[in-house]
Amino acid sequence: MTDQTNTELKTIEVTQAVLVLGGGLVGLETARVIADKGYSVVIAESGETLGSAAETLPLVGMDQGQLDASMELAKASKQIEVFSSTQFAGAAGMPGNFKVWLATQKEVTEKQVGAIVVAGKVDIQPLNAAYGLALNDGVLSQSQLEQRLAKDASSLSGKTVAFMVGLAQPGNPVNMERVFRSALALSELDDCSVYVYVGDLKVASDQLERIYMQTRDKGTLYFKLQQMPAITQQNGNLTITYADPVIRQDVELNPDMIVVEEAISAGNDNEELAEMLRIELGAGGFMQTDNVHRYPVATNREGIFVVGGGAEAKKLSGAWMDAENAALRVSELLGTGSRQVSTETTLDTGKCVFCLTCYRCCPHGAIYWENESNTIIDPVACQGCGICASECPQEAIQIGGFTDAQMKTRIETAGAQKTKAPAIVAFCCQNSALEAGQMAQEFKMTLPEGLKIVQVPCAGKVDLDYILSAFVEGADGVLVLACHPGNCKSERGNTYAGWRVQDAQRMLAEIGMDQRQLRFATLAANMGSDFARIVSEMEADLKAMQ
């Protein structure tokens, strides 16, 4: 469906070095894997020592030997350069050739890197206040208990310990496993009684159900509640009053100790970091939008990846997967030092008035400028969505394979092919609706006789002019078919497309055209039957209007 054009290629050099932000366990492992692929790595860590997250995770059941081996390899690698007590101070440039600044108290160092991996930290806060409790000798946070268990477990002998988890927040498998592991450790001590008050048992992680059963076998008692129990804390005496779900009566427990859950949230400095890197944050402020096209380590910007706690609260094993995936993406981007890029996407500096609309609307941070006047689209960073081309008030931008001239020809061809049936021009995002349409064709679903599909790289490329041109060329109906909100590879192409359809609809209304002649809908690539339904509905509408 695309015109076959000879793609003009040019070779650019990319820097064979990577910046890893964060020198915790995950940052070190990521650096190790990337260095193993032959790239040099710079680690920037704000703290004084590397691998410093280890203290807070004494009980997570990870293979300590494996962990130590990885850390030793990372620390011994000659390809890894470490900047500790260092703040990330900014980045400029484009994927393949970023300039980054690392600041210590004494000086700022500039480095050239091809890619950046954020090994973000999570923020861990005890939720004692939500339970109406103050932390003291009798009320510990989960982390405090883990430290006690690691350093001074015997002092917990003979205690009755009650855990509160998943009642002040939905909870997650990481917190759940910490409770299970702690319960197991306590059950090894003399005369410990363990009670767990829990909302939902979050066991959706490797081995957790089995570990849960082990804790029960060792005597841990669980109370699954729908709401928080009432807890009083007076003169060191703790009283928990809860509605027992089995005997259906209020029951009291007087434990020696209550352990409260912690919220594991996105790092405090994510916002600042995201701004410096021009990364979009997702739910809860994590360094990745909730977009399936970002699985597992990508961000909205090429060359910037996120691993471990930067993306969500996850176990170390999940972060280790991220490290390998980030290394794959790095080596795909940086290869062996040079890469071929298309020169087809162009910005006509003669037309450009330097309004920077394109800079602001580009979801991939692919546009920059030089000398306060010269706007440039970076060929590595650009994903070819064309949102900028459609938003540019000067029509100065042409997208490779989808130039305005090419699109004009395709719209003319699509609009001109007359059948007796209503002529429908469907602008289809190549990531979703185009695939769905081809699926409908492949499986011979019933499609309107007068349907013509016009491929766009992203619905964000659908210009108001395209919609109007399709009508001018003879279309009876026009469909703009985009990805579902939250599923756009370019984050907001579907939103732009929706706005343009609204604008066009206002214009159609002014000249007295029926609104049913223009429709916006969202689809996924695997929705062939829904594609068939949507286009057939439009055909039925158009026939009814005749």
Partner 1 sequence: MSTEAKKVMIIGGGIAGLTAARELARQDIRVELVEKADFLGGHAIQYACKATDECQQCGACKVESTLKDVVESPNITVHLATEVKSIAQNGRISAQLAKGTADKGDALKQCVAGYAASPVQCAAVRGFSKHNARFYSAEGALNTETTGQAAQLDVDAVILASGFTPFDARIKKNYQYGVLPNVVTGLDLERGKRATGTLLRPSDGQPPQKIAFIQCVGSRDENLGNLWCSQVCCPYALRTAMSLKDKNPDLDITIFYMDIQNTGNSFPTFYQKCRQDLKFVRTIPVDMYQADNDRIRTRFMSEADGSPVEEEFDLLVLSVGIMPGSDNAALAGMLGIELGSDGFAAGAGTLDTVSTNQGGIFLAGTVAGPKTIANTMAHAGQSAGKVIAYLRRA
Q: Indicate the residue among 40 and 517 with the shorter CB distance to partner 1.
A: 40
Contact code string over 32-61 relative to partner 1, x by CB under 8 A = -x--xx-----------------------x
Tokens of 57: 């995770």
Regarding 179 and contact with partner 1 (CB under 8 A), the answer is: no
Regarding 536 and contact with partner 1 (CB under 8 A), the answer is: no
CA separation for the pair 19, 517 (Å, rounded) = 52
CB of 278 to partner 1, least distance (A): 20
Size, binding site for partner 1 by CB under 8 A = 75
Regarding 483 and contact with partner 1 (CB under 8 A), the answer is: yes
For residue 379, give every residue at least 6 positions away whose Cβ sits within 8 Å of its Cβ, in sequence order, or none: 10, 12, 341, 342, 343, 345
Q: Say if residue 85 is exposed, middle or buried (CB neighbours under 10 Å; 0-12, 13-18, 19+).
A: middle
User: Coil, helix or strand for 101?
Assistant: strand
Regarding 270 and contact with partner 1 (CB under 8 A), the answer is: no
Q: Which stretch binds partner 1 (CB under 8 A): 121-129, 253-261, 320-328, 512-520?
A: 320-328
One residue of 7, 66, 409, 417 binding partner 1 per CB under 8 A: 66
Q: What angle do CA 153, 159, 164 make, to 5 degrees?
A: 90
For the chain, the straight-line distance linking the first and the last C-alpha, in angstroms and rounded, comes to 30
Q: Indicate the residue among 333 and 377 with the shorter CB distance to partner 1.
A: 333
One residue of 142, 172, 299, 345 binding partner 1 per CB under 8 A: 172
User: Scanning residues 203 to 262, which ones bind partner 1 (CB under 8 A)?
Assistant: 203-210, 213, 224, 226, 248
Q: Indicate the residue among 206 and 503 with the shorter CB distance to partner 1.
A: 206
Give start and end residues of each alpha helix (H) in 374-492. 387-391, 404-416, 433-442, 464-472
How many residues comprise the chain? 546
Instruction: Say if residues 56 and 178 touch (Cβ distance below 8 Å).
Output: no
Regarding 487 and contact with partner 1 (CB under 8 A), the answer is: yes
Residue given tokens 């000798």 in the structure block: 137
Task: From 190, 192, 133, select the one nearest 167 (Cα to Cα).
Answer: 133
For residue 465, give every residue at least 6 positions away whose Cβ sits within 8 Å of its Cβ, in sequence order, or none: none
Q: What is the SS3 string spanning 288-331?
A: CCCCHHHCCCECCCCCEEEEHHHCCCCCHHHHHHHHHHHHHHHH
CB of 105 to partner 1, least distance (A): 35
Q: Which stretch binds partner 1 (CB under 8 A): 372-380, 396-404, 440-448, 449-457?
A: 440-448
Regarding 533 and contact with partner 1 (CB under 8 A), the answer is: yes
CB of 16 to partner 1, least distance (A): 16
Regarding 263 and contact with partner 1 (CB under 8 A), the answer is: no
Q: Indicate the residue among 264 and 475 with the shorter CB distance to partner 1.
A: 264
One residue of 388, 407, 522, 538 binding partner 1 per CB under 8 A: 522
Regarding 154 and contact with partner 1 (CB under 8 A), the answer is: no
CA separation for the pair 461, 208 (Å, rounded) = 46
Regarding 495 and contact with partner 1 (CB under 8 A), the answer is: no
Q: Which stretch binds partner 1 (CB under 8 A): 11-19, 229-237, 371-379, 528-536?
A: 528-536
Q: What angle do CA 510, 512, 516 make, to 5 degrees?
A: 105
Regarding 485 and contact with partner 1 (CB under 8 A), the answer is: yes
One residue of 526, 540, 543, 545 binding partner 1 per CB under 8 A: 526
Q: Indicate the residue among 3 and 244 with the shorter CB distance to partner 1.
A: 244
Residue given tokens 């009291």 in the structure block: 252
Tokens of 172: 């997650």
Regarding 447 and contact with partner 1 (CB under 8 A), the answer is: no
Q: Indicate the residue among 253 and 313 with the shorter CB distance to partner 1.
A: 313
Instruction: Say if residues 139 and 133 touch (Cβ distance below 8 Å).
Output: yes
Instruction: Say if residues 256 and 266 touch (Cβ distance below 8 Å).
Output: no
One residue of 15, 143, 325, 490 binding partner 1 per CB under 8 A: 325
Q: Indicate the residue among 3 and 290 with the shorter CB distance to partner 1.
A: 290
CB of 372 to partner 1, least distance (A): 39
Q: Which stretch binds partner 1 (CB under 8 A): 390-398, 401-409, 439-447, 536-544?
A: 439-447
CA separation for the pair 28, 80 (Å, rounded) = 9
Instruction: Say if residues 453 and 437 touch (Cβ distance below 8 Å).
Output: yes
Regarding 290 and contact with partner 1 (CB under 8 A), the answer is: yes
Residue given tokens 């070819």 in the structure block: 384
Regarding 496 and contact with partner 1 (CB under 8 A), the answer is: no
One residue of 72, 110, 157, 170 binding partner 1 per CB under 8 A: 170
Orientation of helix 316-334 relative to helix 25-36, angle to 10°: 40
Contact code string over 333-362 relative to partner 1, x by CB under 8 A = ------------------------------
Regarding 415 and contact with partner 1 (CB under 8 A), the answer is: no
Tokens of 474: 């003879």
Our separate counts of H helices and E strands in the chain read 14, 28
